[in-house]
A and B are shown apart, each in its own frame.
Chain A
Amino acid sequence: MMVFKIALRNILRNRRRSAMTVAAIAVGAIAMLIFGAFTTFVILGVRTTTVEHSGHLVVLRTGYFAFGTGNPAAYGIGDYQGVMKTIADDPTIGPMINVITPSVSLFGIAGNFAVDSSRTFIGTGVVPSDRDTMRKWNEYHLGGGRRPAPHPDLLSDDDITKGAVGVGLARTLGLCGPLEVPGCQAMPAARTEASPSVQGVAPAADLADLAGRDKDVGAGEPGCAKARIDLLSATAGGAPNVVNFCVSGTDQQSAKELDDGYVAMHLALAQQLVYGRGEHKATGIVLQLHRTEDMAAARARLEAIFKDKGLDLEVHDFTELNPIYNQIIGFFGAIFSFIAVIMMVIVLFTVVNTMSMSVMERINEIGTTRALGVRRRGIRRQFLVEGSLLGAIGATLGVVLALIIATIVNRSGMTWTPPGQSGSVPLFLLLAGAPGLIVGAWVVLIVVSTIASLMPASRAARMPVVDALRHV
């Protein structure tokens, strides 16, 4: 108690010097916390976006991840409904699951043949209602409701011909006008005059034969509300297949190369395109969990289930399926570490300087207390406590100021465009909701201050008593 009393009073005694030191530590804390909060916001934002789209885990046929994208028909999961039921009914993993849904990944050619425009597409077949539920996943409550609402419902469980395309694909196929996509460059008039595929006009003659094969799909439907394209692919047997696809809107993707070929469609339509009249399979079973922290346990349980039941399936998590996720995390983590190290070095040198001055000014006091019977380690402890107390005061002040700054920024309406997203979103500094970051920075700065005090404290402890007493 006396040690703390002496330490605190010495800090207060040299007010100006202590204030400068505390300010330096506080600035270090603010820098670490604000950037840490920003990094947390980015990481959780990217994670949320990724999990919204991809789920936490994907069950694939063994080998699909390495080779299956080149031949999705050959790597389909046959009794995927049965597998999904097995997973959902499992007492361990079942309660962890928010959504379990099948998906089909495919590729082919998307054509708006009326304007003689086509290009390859990368498609995903999903259960729309499941995807809507997935898009509402917001484990981290980002933005307190200010996060952009989930994408409008572009797909429907009731209309399998309906779906969405990337803005780039819409532009390439001359659909920007009919779809009224803001900021999307429309095809020149000369190319769009004869756009028979758009809104009820017949396909171009040279592709009429192929497009005519899609009569099964969309038959009896009231017609496409905005625009229609044809999707061509190869079935599992290698035969060409084509379906009508009603484009109800665009869903911009983060990467241009993906956006230029993205198609989201109903699972049944994708199955029809890939498997034709054969057995309809799924290329993946997507699991979105309630909590990301359950991911490892869920994955382990899935692998155990597949092993027990002899299922030829493998599990991958969203970080494996989305390499950019880890790249973004690593990038921001590196910047945060760099800033944190700089701040720690500044704090280190500031506290070393302050504590060295304190030792120099109190040499006689050191001699006196040693003469009274204080051991060397008692002297060392005295200055270490003083250094750590300086760190605690500075770090606490920094935390309070950082919380104030974060509140101001969060209420300012500032926006930014995060990595992996196409539009700007409100900027949030996730500080109040990141107790780990606050406690971590607080502890680190106190530890750094204590370490910085070690050298002056040891010098004080090593001082010969008579020399210290003789010091004027």
Chain B
Amino acid sequence: MNDAARKPVDTEAVVRMDQVVKVYDDDGLTVKAIDGITLAIPRRRFTMIVGPSGSGKTTLLNLMGCIDSATSGTVEVCGEDVAKLSDNAVSDFRAKNVGFIFQNFSLVPVLTAYENIEYPLLLLNLPAAERKKRTMAMLEGVGLAEHWNHRPNQLSGGQRQRVAIARALVKEPEIVLADEPTANLDSHTGASIVELMQRQQHERNTTFIFSTHDPHLMSYAHETFAIKDGAVVDHTMGAAS
């Protein structure tokens, strides 16, 4: 663990990890994916988790997104020690506070763009009028108002990722976790997606946490954590060099 990773946590941190270890036991083969990470992710910033394949980026994001649990150590998201929450409470916590953007878009294939974006709002039991207002605003925001009735298979990769971004942001979460969001896009589309996310982050003051290899995306970072073999090896303000 380097000094950067061990610096005092920010009181405005939206995610705090303290000596987090994650071990996978795969058919008797034990793999330590996260090896004692301590870090704090600041609010309302573009934070990048970078590192080579297999370094533990996605596992770290999964822990921050409360879709996986640490073997040991403490993970606090939005001030909540997620290990102490029940399974239902964690689900409700995710529904309210965490938005996900996946590498492979992961839209519900049988729902239209509008319905995919509206889906997280249904989990929050918002009234229909409010859902419609927010969903239409998001569709406008990501430039897909004309494609509201298209299903994922009728959209291009870039359009799908725009829908995924809209879906992640529509519920106005505390954090948005984006796992390699540009990996499946061509460079031009990837660049436009990055600009879209930056604009949305700016407009909504949302915390974006990325795991990425993409140098273009990394160049937008406010703060970068470099990890290797499950440990933070570098912490840089701004983009990593």
Contact = CB atoms under 8 A, between A and B. Distances in A.
A107 to B, nearest CB: 76
B137 interface: no
The 3 A-B pairs of least Cβ separation, nearest first, read A373-B95, A9-B110, A465-B67
Interface string A460-471: 000011100100
Contacts of A365: 106, 108-109
Contact of B109 (A5, A13, A367, A371): A13
Nearest to A373: B95
B19 interface: no
A98 B120 CA distance: 66
Given A5-B110, A469-B102, 13 more contacts: A2-B122, A6-B108, A6-B110, A364-B106, A365-B106, A365-B108, A371-B67, A371-B100, A372-B95, A374-B95, A374-B123, A466-B62, A466-B67
B223 interface: no
B12 interface: no
Nearest to B62: A466
A372 B120 CA distance: 6
Contact of A369 (B68, B88, B108, B115): B108
A61 interface: no
A123 B81 CA distance: 91
A115 to B, nearest CB: 86
Contacts of B110: 5-6, 9-10, 13
Interface string A434-472: 000000000000000000000000000000111001000
Contacts, number: 70
Contacts of B123: 372-374
Nearest to A7: B110
A281 interface: no
9 contacts: A2-B119, A9-B111, A364-B104, A365-B106, A368-B100, A368-B106, A369-B108, A372-B94, A469-B102
B237 to A, nearest CB: 29
Interface string A356-397: 000000001101111111111000000000000000000000
Contacts of A2: 115, 119, 122
Interface string A5-18: 11001100100000
Interface string A144-188: 000000000000000000000000000000000000000000000
Given A13-B110, A365-B109, A469-B106, A370 B91 contact: yes
A375 B119 contact: no
A9 B115 CA distance: 12
A139 B11 CA distance: 83
B155 to A, nearest CB: 16
Contacts of A364: 104, 106
A365 B110 CA distance: 10
Nearest to B106: A368
A247 B65 CA distance: 96
Nearest to B89: A375
A69 B67 CA distance: 82
A13 B96 CA distance: 30
Contacts of B115: 2, 5
Interface in B68-119: 68, 87-88, 91-96, 98, 100, 102, 104, 106-111, 115, 119
Nearest to A1: B122
Contacts of A370: 67, 91
Contacts of B106: 364-365, 367-368, 469
Contacts of B109: 13, 365
Interface size class of A (residues with CB under 8 A): 20 to 34
B96 A373 contact: yes
Interface size class of B (residues with CB under 8 A): 20 to 34
Contacts of B108: 6, 365, 368-369
B195 to A, nearest CB: 25
Given A365-B108, A466-B67, A466-B68, A375 B91 contact: yes
Nearest to B110: A9
A372 B94 CA distance: 6
Contact of A372 (B68, B88, B119): B119
Max chain A C-beta neighbours (<10 A), residue from B65, B102, B106: B106
Max chain A C-beta neighbours (<10 A), residue from B65, B93, B109: B109
Max chain A C-beta neighbours (<10 A), residue from B98, B100, B107, B108: B108
Interface string B29-43: 000000000000000
B185 to A, nearest CB: 18
B131 to A, nearest CB: 11
Interface in B49-66: 62, 65
A469 B59 CA distance: 12
Interface string A414-439: 00000000000000000000000000
B102 A368 contact: yes
A466 to B, nearest CB: 5
A371 B68 contact: no
Nearest to B87: A376
Contacts of B88: 375-376
Max chain B C-beta neighbours (<10 A), residue from A13, A365, A369, A371: A371
A373 B91 contact: yes
Contacts of B167: 372
Contacts of A466: 62, 67-68
Nearest to A464: B68
Contacts of B93: 373
A110 B119 CA distance: 87
Nearest to A467: B68
Given A2-B115, A5-B111, A13-B110, A374 B67 contact: no
A218 B170 CA distance: 101
Interface string B145-158: 00000000000000
B4 to A, nearest CB: 27
A54 B49 CA distance: 89
A369 B107 CA distance: 9
B105 to A, nearest CB: 9
A372 B93 CA distance: 10
Contacts of A368: 100, 102, 106-108
A373 B68 contact: no
A83 to B, nearest CB: 70
